Structure 1
């Protein structure tokens, strides 16, 4: 198991929270909560050691050209593919009303 942290610029704090996915299902779960103004913080707990560069590239592609609210995102990963990660994050953003 490895814990990774990432930070990105953001707008004002979001106002909603949500949980999407389920780590016990064999892929991952994403918890999204309001964060600190100007900062999008992501913590990934993953079963795949040495995957920091892959996660960083995925987030860079996902957030490029978007202004997201300040959020704290916790991801509990059990070897999900990048497509599943993106799907769960997009589901979470839709749930909190920020796309």
Structure 2
């Protein structure tokens, strides 16, 4: 297993306080937990992956995600078993959309 950590600052979008868990960790998939957290306006992402040596690809996928959503005070945990970048982006977008849709 490899653990990767990323942090982004400068986001402006805050999510509702109820955490979201999407996906299932199994062969070729991943789970995403996204939650509100006091991070001084930052967005932190921790990835635990079985696929070692793909840090540059993860950084590109997570960087693109942050550029789209501009999240602030958000913690994201990803448990990965070899998901493709497209699946990673889909799960992350689903989690954020679920948290935005339920806001009053």
| TM-score normalized with structure 1 length | 0.88
Corresponding residue of 1:23: 25
Secondary structure at the aligned position of 2:52 is classed as coil
| Alpha-carbon offset, residue 24 of structure 1 | 2.8
Per the TM alignment, residue 94 of structure 1 is displaced from its structure 2 partner at its CA by 0.8
Aligned pairs, number: 98
CA pair 65-27 structure 1, distance change in 2 beyond 3 A: closer
Do the aligned partners of 1:11 and 1:39 also contact (CA within 8 Å) in 2?
no
Higher alpha-carbon deviation: 9-18 or 46-55: 9-18
Which of these residues, 54, 57, 65, is aligned with residue 54 of structure 1? 57
Structure 1 residue ranges without an equivalent (≥5): none
Identify which of 74, 77, 81 aligns with 1:78.
81
Segments of 5+ residues of structure 2 without an aligned counterpart are none
TM-score after normalising by structure 2: 0.84
Q: Indicate conservation of the 8 Å contact 2:29/2:82, yes or no.
A: yes
Instruction: Pick closer, same or farther for the CA change 1:21–1:70 going to 2, 3 Å.
Output: same
- Alpha-carbon RMSD across the aligned residues, in angstroms, is 1.8
